[in-house]
């Protein structure tokens, strides 16, 4: 009779556990579905706000926050269904908070850095940046890391704390950029003619900005070992900066060729002294 009662009790416990486990599994599945649904609703809702409509940085960050919060709530509900007291979990977490904080200080630092990057906004999704020797276009700003892609489409994963603790160069923030083209001419060429040719070539391109305070400038920038260095400074829109510099470099070479201006090769002058030659000859004879 004792064995029968024990078996009946174990059977009831197993049945209750199976029911609770099934309900917990359903809750977990519904939580995952709800997190995805809430993330989509959040993205659509923020997409209707004028300030966030075209801001993929805020959208992606907010979506991740909503998803994580709902998953945490669902996990707590699953634990409660399995008979785990949430008050005891909170007590354990409180007692272990120092150890967890020390163990996860790097991860928590990444989260804090991500929040600060989102708040101060040194860059947005789609901007081209350089940070700590790494360059690329920002694809996503996440809770823990920022994802970049280089010009040749190489994936780069950068922890947010690394971005926060280093200098960031943003090549997409300003609408206009200034660039320089430096070219060398022979010392025998007419400097005034070369400067005029360079200036006309730069101004001939309609993409070069000619507004007051941003007109193109040409100057002699250096007297090198074998060439006189000329530099042209010009402004353009950020979108035109890359193609414009490539096109102008080609145009300057062609215009100098047409004007008969020489772009010299590196040269070296060797002087032979008679005394040194005689000394070398005597050594060979010996």
Question: Quick one: average pLDDT of 62-76?
Answer: 80
pLDDT digits (tens, 9 = 90+) for 264-283: 888 777 777 776 555 555 55
CA distance 169 to 55: 20
Taken in order 192, 195, 201, 204, is the CA torsion positive or negative?
Answer: negative
Q: What is residue 264's DSSP assignment?
A: P
Residues in Cβ contact with 77 at an 8 Å cutoff, skipping those fewer than 6 apart: 27, 31
pLDDT for 38:
83
Q: How confident is the model at residue 142 (pLDDT cuts 50, 70, 90)?
A: confident
Structure tokens belonging to residue 285: 């004879």
**pLDDT digit string, tens, across residues 97-124:** 555 455 556 677 888 888 888 888 898 8
Of 249 and 142, which is predicted with more confidence? 249
Mean pLDDT of 244-250: 94
Give per-residue pLDDT as tens, 181-240.
999 999 999 999 999 999 999 999 999 998 888 999 999 999 988 899 999 999 999 989
Hey, is 123 helix, strand or coil?
A: coil
pTM over 0.85: no
Of 233, 231, 225, 175, the residue nearest 208 (C-alpha) = 233
145: which strand partners?
A: 159
Q: What is the pLDDT of residue 80?
A: 75
Average of per-residue pLDDT across 238-266: 92
């Amino acid at each position: 009779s004792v064995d029968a009662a024990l078996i009946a009790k174990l059977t009831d416990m197993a049945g209750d556990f199976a029911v609770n486990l099934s309900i917990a599994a359903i809750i977990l599945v519904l939580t995952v579905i709800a997190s995805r649904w809430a993330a989509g609703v959040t993205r659509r809702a923020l997409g209707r706000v004028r300030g966030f409509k075209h801001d993929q940085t805020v959208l992606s960050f907010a979506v991740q926050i909503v998803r994580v919060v709902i998953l945490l709530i669902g996990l707590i509900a699953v634990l409660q269904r399995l008979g785990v007291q949430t008050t005891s979990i909170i007590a354990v977490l409180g007692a272990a908070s120092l150890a967890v904080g020390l163990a996860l200080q790097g991860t928590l630092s990444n989260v804090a850095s991500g929040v600060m990057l989102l708040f101060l906004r040194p860059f947005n999704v789609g901007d081209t940046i350089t940070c700590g020797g790494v360059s690329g276009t920002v694809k996503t700003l996440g809770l823990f890391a920022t994802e970049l892609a280089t010009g040749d489409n190489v994936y780069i994963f950068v922890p947010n704390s690394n971005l926060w603790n280093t200098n960031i160069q943003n090549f997409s923030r300003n609408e206009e950029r200034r660039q320089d083209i430096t070219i060398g001419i022979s010392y025998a060429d007419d400097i005034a003619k070369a400067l005029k040719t360079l200036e006309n070539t730069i101004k001939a391109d309609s993409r070069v900005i000619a507004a007051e305070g941003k007109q193109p400038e040409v100057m002699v920038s250096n007297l090198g070992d074998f060439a006189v260095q000329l530099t042209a400074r010009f402004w353009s829109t950020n979108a035109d900066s890359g193609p414009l510099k490539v096109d102008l470099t080609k145009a300057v070479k062609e215009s100098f060729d047409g004007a008969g201006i020489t772009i010299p090769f590196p040269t070296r002058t060797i002087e032979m002294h008679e005394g040194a030659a005689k000394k070398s000859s005597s050594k060979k004879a010996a």
